[in-house]
Amino acid sequence: MIILDASAAAALLLRQPASEAIVRAIAEEEIAAPELMAVELLSVLRGWVRSGQLSEPRAREALEDLELLGLRWYAERPLLRMAWSFRDNASAYDAVYLALAEVLGERSRSASVLTLDARLARAFPERTLHPV
């Protein structure tokens, strides 16, 4: 099971250089995300459009393509207690991804957060995949 974070989702949806490695990492895997990932992605795309790094039509297309990924979405509230346990080494947002990996990892053989955030990957190597 792969939990896709917003950094990896943005790279995948915008076909950035890391997208090939992400496609390989999620091949034949079930992919999931906390619902907050969609809001984080929206924020990233908005920032890139406002700064001129991305066109508005391309951002809209990426948001539409998000639905085509076939992610299993999970609510955050049930994850908050577990997320709190990561407070010393992860942001609240990252902690939710890690908590989801922890919970889903208990149900299946393994679950990892796929991220382009090198700091997060270094802090939690046992629960993350860093494809680049």
Would you list which residues are annotated within the binding site for Mg(2+)?
5, 94
Residues 6+ positions from 49 with CB-CB distance below 8 Å: 55, 56, 59
Rounded to 10 degrees, the C-alpha dihedral 52/57/60/66 comes to -100
- CA–CA gap between residue 12 and residue 51 (Å, rounded): 20
Residues 6+ positions from 73 with CB-CB distance below 8 Å: 32, 33, 34, 35, 38
Rounded to 10 degrees, the C-alpha dihedral 131/109/119/58 comes to 50
Q: Which residues are annotated as a binding site?
A: 5, 94
Residues 53, 58, 60, 65, CA torsion sign: negative
